[in-house]
Structures are given as structure tokens and as C-alpha cells.
Amino acid sequence: MPASPIHEASRRELERIRNALAMTAARRPAMTSSTTSTATPPRHSFEQAIEDVKLSKTDLNAVIMEYLISEGYPEAAQRFALEANIEPELDVDSIQERVEIREAIASGDIQSAIEKINELNPQVLDQDSALHFSLLRLQLIELIRKATATPDGDITPALTFATTHLAPRAPTNQEFLEDLERTMALLIFPPDNLAPPLAALLDPALRQEVAQRVNQALLLSQGERTKATLYDLVNYRSWANQKAIQAKKEHLPERIELGFDPAHNGHESSQNGSSLRQAADPMVTGWGPY
Amino acid sequence: MTNEGSPGAPHLSYSNPTSGIMPRRSSYASVAAGTAGISSSSGHLPRIVNTGSYTHSTSLDQPSRIPQPISDPDTRVEGGMDIPSSWGRGGSFSSPRFPSQSYSASGSGGMLGFFEPSYLKESKYMEKLKAAHKAKLAAQADELLTRSSKPGSLSTSSSSVSLHKMAPSHRGMTYEIIERQPEVEDDGVTPLPSKWAETDKNAGLEISADGQDVKFVGPSKTLDHEAASTRSDNPMPAQCGIYYYEVSIISRGKEGMIGVGFSGASASLEKLPGWEPESWAYHGDDGKSFCAATPGKPYGPTFTSGDVIGCGVNFMKGCAFFTKNGVFQGNAFRDLRDVKVYPSVGMKRPHAHLSVNFGQRPFMFDIDRMVSRERQSIIDEINAADVSNLHPTLNKDELCKALVAQYLSHDGYVETARAFASEVRAEATALRGGSESKLEGYLSVEEDHDAMNRQQIRTAILDGDIDKAIKLTNAFYPQVLQDNHQIYFKLRCRKFIEMMRQSTDFLDNSTSKQTKSTTTNGHSTAVSDDGFEPDMDLDEPITSKDGGHHNNDDWDRMDTEEVAGGDNWGLKYQTLLEVIIRYGQELKHEFKDDRRKHVTDTFTDIFSMFSYPDPRKSPQGKLLESEQRVPLAEGLNSAILVSLGKSSSTALERVYKQTVVLVDMISEDGGPGSFINVGNLLQSSRKSWQQ
């Protein structure tokens, strides 16, 4: 088709621009590579190095998703699958079972926790006698807690439980025996003035710890990773920092902030605010081409 | 032709006793060289001659000299057009060289190109090396395309200029040739040893053309301490934690005086490694280990023809060991600290002949197992790490919850954040009977309009609708683009790129149209699919005088034509290009006062796409990919967050990035980080629930 004069003119202009640009483009590689081979790369600051690390949101979302599933937050996991547009359908039931067990342990209802575990997979406790013993001892602690809550509480149920369930297992392992003895000491001392090792037995943290071990054992029995990657990542971070300090690495900041900013202005933000701010400012550091 | 140490180098005079055994390969080489010669008008061969599947470049100034042996064409191509660096080295073109045993024996591809030793498969080091290699290939492919599409630039002068930088003239250059990818330059990864260095050998030795074999060809070294040694092209990279290579004794020569080990660049090559300061080796004649010129210590059995000797350095532990025929012989040296060493072998008598395996082929010794055991012990150490130093008040469990909660609310997963908060609260209530948790500050999810605004802006960029993103940003956060001029600049440039992107869709549709029907559906869908709507009512004033209005008119016309079923695609394409040019001029005008390098460079990059009929095939074609929008979206999001007084990235993101940098730090010199690849950790999280 015959091109209009306007288009003919612009075609020529385009041609001219193309030629000019082709020459510029042809010159550039040579310049780039000559600077490459001679100049040593500038020593980057720690903050700059951090900005340069590439990380995809998809990978981070996977870390979050895995955490929600393996730690047992079914509601959040379902929401997240929707909000983050994550593909595979979730098997909420398998999370729910672990959540119920966790809740039972957390609330001190060890009996039903053990029943639920056995319902799910009786081999879990059969194969892990230490875990089984920990659960039974937790149950004993709850019985003692109940008995010593009032001045004239009945300690018979606690004693019976200890003799029938824990005592037969204790001789198989020195640690079991010590644990049992320490637990029984709770019956003797008044609960409001306990030595730290004994007080730890009554702390809810112990229940939480056992609940986590149970969760890991269940995950293992289901062929899953026993621990969410997030936990590993936190360990990696801490370990690497310690190693870098030990090796007296140059450019290592004295303290590397995680940079939380919780709703209420946290303790961290003031400590190292200026450098964090700088690292975060895209004007200063840039964030890659386009 | 300047070639270091070429004429007059003593080893030029050695005749090659084995040159007669390779006619089969040399015939191929003649064909290739002959083809190349035709296209060469002068005595110079062009830098890169693309003869179909076979790519070869040389720096020969005498066409009669045939580079050999030339590997199989497949090997060459797979090897990634690896410039035969041996040819750049002094004296290497003096005489045809003998083929290596290992090469003739295996005959498999990839020998001369990029390779990945099995024990380094999971390492961060290897990952970096691969990235560098990939970038190099891409750059070279670009280079080829550029050349083939622009025959004019293949002038004698320009090719000889480039030729100079192509020829690796010293060690360490191999991966720096025509690097245009800044991330690779910054990484500065030392490549693996891949062959014996022609430039780093005693005159009494001859190295096969592929650099794998080394042979004693000089007169017998009669003096007690005299010998001939060579080193590899690259030093052992400490960042890989453990480095390992193996040597096959093809022939031990008389007395079996052979040393296998490693040495620093300054150690003399007139002696066996181990007899010199800065050199360490295991000797075949007496089975002793020699450490930096100290008297030999009884170490292992003697070795002779047919044996395979392995040499490994554990940079983390500062020790070195040897293997014989796949059997570990124990640690030979300790307290190797901060050493920069090259694999090195030496020999003393004629007919001694060694063939090396730098990891191109499987090793005899199970080095993979040793490395994975080392890795496992590091992972055990990490699992046992004390994390209490990470946060002043939160324990590990609480810290993880806080990281998740902060991530969810920061990135605008509002519903998830609420659900998570309530589930965590329920858990705490069950445990402690409802006491206030330390986590409360991290769990509260604010009603956040900002999150939604930011989400909208992000979506606009990810859809390629830059004008909409600018409009929204100016409406919600008027200060942000004023304060962050660089982001504004990048957005405006991105718009140009999006227009180029659209023009490529146009190209695709046009070509298909020529062969098929003349319906215009393709055009209109291409326009909207791309998200680049011809948005007429730009809120922001357009600075250019002649730009704006004209621009809009063109868009209008094009649109109506399509609706009306016009099939004049050539004209429309032309029109689109005009619009792009106008926008480009407008853009250039808007930033004409900004002479900073990144601005001018960016302009050169994006406008250079115009010099290609299909911009996707230009060196900057990568910019057209939609993934390139993500960093821009994240960058603007961060800038908005900063303007709101919030941190620009999530704590989880920082934890990960800090970990990567810290692990990198402690792997530089072969420290414990060498065995760890944090990136693999993330992959594992993905695998665990995406089955």
C-alpha cells in the first residue's frame, strides 16, 4: 500500500534513529568490558550486600505456608492460600487433627491427647518411648498440680498414676528415673516457693515443648518435614552471625537488627534506626534495574 | 599480534612425538578452519565465525596452522563457545599437540566446556558459577546475534579490537569475557581449575591440546633436585570448602618420580611440588608426603602406572589429604591457613605421562560422601545453634510467630493476618489461661487503607499499566514520586518498555496475519492483554510541548481503525512506532537536564531496542519480560512504606537476606558457610507442601 508522506517522513526518521542507536549500542559493550576487567568491584557495605540479595515473594510465601501448615494454623493456612493465590488445595483435616492434639496438651488434658495420638497412629508413641514418657509425666504433673492446689488435696490419684504408669518405665532409662524423682518432689515442697528446676515443671512452657515434640513426631509419621523451614532459617541466621563474629569479619555490623516494627513502637526501632532507614531507602541503595 | 611469551619461548623447540596419531580429528579441524578461511578476506580469521552448529574462534595469524585437536562439534557447542584459551596462550600454536588420554578414552561431550563436579552440586559456589556461565553464554549469544543482524559492524578493525579482549591473556579471565551482567561482575566468582596451564609449566613438559594430559618430553633431569612441574589454570576456590581432583598415572616414566599435590603461584616449577616452599605433594617413588621443602614424611604407599591419585584440600579445617585408587590415605598436611594454591603435578623422567580429572568426569574416590558428611556436621551445628541473641525478649517460638504475623500484615494479607492472630491467641489462652502475651504487639492487625492502596498500585505495575500506577501513586501519596525521583524515572522508562513490549505483540500478530486471515481481533486483544491501555486522560501534565496531544490522537485513530475492522496492519505498526518514538523524545526531553550516568545509560539501553527489528532479540530484550515489572513494583511499594514511616521490607525478608550475606561472609575463605546453601533451604519449604 502506498504510504502517506507523513508516514514516509517518520519512516525515514525512524531509520535515522535506528542507525544512530546502532552505533551507540555497538560502542557500548567494549566500554563495559574494559571497565570490567580492569576495575576491581567496589567493596560493598553490609547493607548494600543485603539489598543485593535476590529473593522472590513466591519463596517467602512458601515459607509462610509451610509454617502455617506444619505448626497447625488451619484457618490462617486456608486464608493464606486464597490471599496469596497459592495453588494446591489444602487438606485441612490433617492439620485439624494435629491442632486438636496440641490444644489438648496445651490445656493439660493429656489423657485425651494420648488417646487422639493413638487414634491417629498408635505407632507414634510405641516407637518413641521418650515422647511417651514425657506425656505421661506431664499427666502426672497435672495430677500433682490438682492435688497441691488446696491444702488438703488428695494425693492418692497422683501416687497411683506414678506407680502404675511411670514407675515401670523409669528403670529402662536413667533420665526417665531422674525425671520421675524430680516430679515426685513436687508433692513434698509447697507449690508457691519452689526451686527453679521444680518450678519449671509447672510452667506452661513445658506443655508447649511437649506439644511441639508431639507435633514433630506426627509430621514425621506422615512423612513430612518435622520442622518448618522458618525455624531452620532462624537458626541459620543466628549461627552464621556467631560464626562471622568469631571469624572477626570485616564490615560486620556490631548488631544486625531484624527490623521489626510492631504496632506499638518496639524496642528495636530506636536502637539502630538511622542505618536501617538508610538501607531501606530505595533512593540511596537502588533496587536493581527496573 | 601480541601474545605473551610467544616467540623465543624455550618450549617452542620441542617436537611432538605423538603428533602422528591424530589425523581423524585434524581432518575435521581442517574442514572447520577451511570454512572459516573462506569468509576471511584478510589473513585474519574473523573473531567468531558461525558455521551452522559449529562455532569456533581463534587468534591465529597464520591460516596454515591448524588448531588441534578440535573436539567434536557437539562438544564445542555444548561447551558454550568456550574460547579455546589455550590458543591465546604463548607458544601454544607452535606445533600440533597430542590429544589427551582422558579425552580419547571418554569421548564424551562437555569435556572442554562448563562442568559441574559432583561433590559441588549443592554448593552456593557452584550456583554462582553457573549463573556467571549462563550470563556469559547469553552475552555471547547476544554478541553473535548482534553481529549477524548487523553485517556492517563486522569490519576488520572492530573485530580485531574485540579480538583483543576475547583472548584470555592471563589466568582468571576466563569468565570475565564480555560480561555485561552487573551481578556477575559483582560476584567475582573464581572459576574452577579446568586444565593444566600452558603458561604455567616447566619447559620440559608438554600439555595436551585440551589441557588434561601432561607429559615429560624434555631431556632427563639428571640433577637430584631438578624436575618439571605444572599448575592448573585457576586456583582451588576456597569458597567450595573442600576442593578435590584426581590424576591418572598413564605412565610413571623411569623410577616413578612423580609428585601430585598443590602449590602457590610463586613456587618454582623447576622442582617437584613439595620440594619448594609454598608447595605440598605426595610422591610416587617413595610414598612420602612433602610439605613446603621440609624433609618428606612417610605417608602412603608408592604409586605407579595405572594408579589414580586424588588430592583434596579441606579449606575449612585447613588440612589436605590424598587418595589412591579411591582409598583415603589420611590427612597429609595440617594448618594450611589462607593459602591460595593451584593443583600441581611434577615429574622427572621421560615418558612420564599423567592425565587429570578436575571433576569433568566421576571420581574414583567417593568425595561426594565426604563433602555431604562435612555438610551434615555443619547442619547439626546449625540445628543446635543458640538463637537467644536474635531478639531481646522473644524466644524462638515467639520470634517465628512474630515474623509470620509481621509478614502477613506488612504485605497486606489482612484476612490471613487476622486468622493467624486469633489462632495464636487461642493457643496462648489454652496454655496460660488467657494472660496477655508478649506477642500481642505483633498480632494486632490495623484497619489499613494503605495496604489496599498499595495493593492497587502494585497490581497496576504488575499488569504493565504504568500510567495508572503513576496516577494512583500521585493521588494517594503525592509526595512519593517527587521525593523519589529515581523511581519516577524508572516508571517513565518502564512505560516506554511497555510500549516496546506492545509493539512486539503487534509484530507477532502481524506476521501471523500475513499468512492467515485479515481479522483484527488479534490486535485489540494484544493491546488489552498487555494491560497497556491507550489511556487518554492523563492527569499529570505532559512536559513536552509537541508530545502529548499528538500522541493521544494517534492512539485514538489506531483504536477506531481496529474497531472498524481496518486491516492495514503495516500502517498501524508504523503508527505505533511513531507514538513510541514521540514518547521516547518526550521522555528524553523531560530528563534532558539529568546527566547522571544511570540516566544516560538507561536511555541508551532502552532506546537501543529500537535498532532491532524485533526488540526482544536485542541485548536489552530481557527488559521486555513481564517479570521485570516485579522489582519496580516492589521498589515503589518500599518507597511508599518509607514515606509512611514504615520499614520497607518485612522482617522475614531481612532475616533471609542477612543470613545469605552472613553465610557468604563465612564462606569466602572456605569457612563453614561454604557447605551451606541458604537458597536450597527455601526450596525445601516449597517441596514440603507442594507434592
Give me the pLDDT at residue A24, please. 47
Average pLDDT, chain B: 71
How would residue B285 be classed by pLDDT, with cut points 50, 70 and 90?
A: confident
More confident residue, B551 or B425: B425
Starting at the edge strand that comes first in sequence, how are the strands of the sheet with B279-283 ordered? B196-201, B228-232, B342-347, B258-263, B279-283, B288-291, B297-298
Give me the pLDDT at residue B443, please. 78
Beta carbons of A22 and B150 less than 8 Å apart: yes
Residue in chain A lying closest to B679 (CA): A55
In a 10 Å sphere around its CB, with 0-12 CB exposed, 13-18 middle and 19+ buried, how is residue B567 labelled?
middle
Compute the residue count for chain A: 290
Please list the helix, strand and coil fractions of chain A in percent, rounded to the nearest 5, in that order: 70, 0, 30
Interchain CB contact of A64 with B (< 8 Å): yes
Give the residue-averaged pLDDT of A219-231: 86
Determine the Cα angle at B246 with ends B240 and B247, to 5°.
145
Residue B15 has pLDDT above 60, yes or no: no
In a 10 Å sphere around its CB, with 0-12 CB exposed, 13-18 middle and 19+ buried, how is residue A158 labelled?
buried
Q: How far apart are CA A56 and CA B631, in angstroms?
A: 10
Beta carbons of A234 and B655 less than 8 Å apart: yes
List, in order of start, the domains of chain B with CATH numbers: 196-357 (2.60.120.920)
Give me the pLDDT at residue B159, please. 37
Q: What is the amino acid identity at position B431? A: L
Residue A124 has pLDDT above 70, yes or no: yes
Residue B59 has pLDDT above 70, yes or no: no
Interchain CB contact of A24 with B (< 8 Å): yes
A103-112, A261-270, B570-579, B602-611: the lowest-pLDDT one: A261-270
How would residue A277 be classed by pLDDT, with cut points 50, 70 and 90?
A: very low
Give me the pLDDT at residue A107, please. 86
Beta carbons of B486 and A283 less than 8 Å apart: yes
How would residue B91 be classed by pLDDT, with cut points 50, 70 and 90?
A: very low
Q: How far apart are CA B122 and CA A114, in angstroms?
A: 41
What's the first-to-final CA gap in chain A, in angstroms?
39
How would residue B358 be classed by pLDDT, with cut points 50, 70 and 90?
A: very high
ipTM passes above 0.85: no
Beta carbons of A263 and B441 less than 8 Å apart: yes
Give the residue-averaged pLDDT of A77-92: 76
Give the residue-averaged pLDDT of B144-169: 45
Beta carbons of B638 and A287 less than 8 Å apart: yes
Q: What is the pLDDT of residues B321-346, one digit of tens each?
A: 999 999 999 898 888 887 889 999 99
Pick among B577, B666, B677, B684 to test the A interface (most A CBs inside 10 A): B666
Beta carbons of A63 and B446 less than 8 Å apart: no
In a 10 Å sphere around its CB, with 0-12 CB exposed, 13-18 middle and 19+ buried, how is residue B138 labelled?
middle
Portion of chain B with pLDDT greater than 70, in percent: 66
Beta carbons of B690 and A62 less than 8 Å apart: yes
String of DSSP letters for B323-379: EETTEEEEEEE----S---EEEEEE-STT-EEEEESSSS--SS-HHHHHHHHHHHHH
Q: What is the pTM of this model?
A: 0.64
Beta carbons of B629 and A277 less than 8 Å apart: no
How many A-B residue pairs are in contact by the CB < 8 A criterion? 334
Q: How far apart are CA B561 and CA B559, in angstroms?
A: 5
More confident residue, B427 or B538: B427
A67-71, B144-148, B238-242, B378-382: the lowest-pLDDT one: B144-148
Please list the helix, strand and coil fractions of chain B in percent, rounded to the nearest 5, in that order: 50, 10, 40
B663 contacts in A (CB within 8 Å)? 236, 240
Give me the pLDDT at residue B314, please. 92
- Of the candidates A235, A261, A264, which has its C-beta nearest B387's C-beta? A235
Reading the block at residue B437, the C-alpha cell is: 502475651
3-state secondary structure of B633: helix
**Residue A158 contacts by C-beta under 8 Å, 6 or more apart in sequence?**
A140, A143, A144, A146, A147, A187
Give the residue-averaged pLDDT of B37-63: 38
- Of the candidates A18, A22, A290, which has its C-beta nearest B632's C-beta? A290
Residue B541 has pLDDT above 60, yes or no: no
Give the residue-averaged pLDDT of A105-114: 90
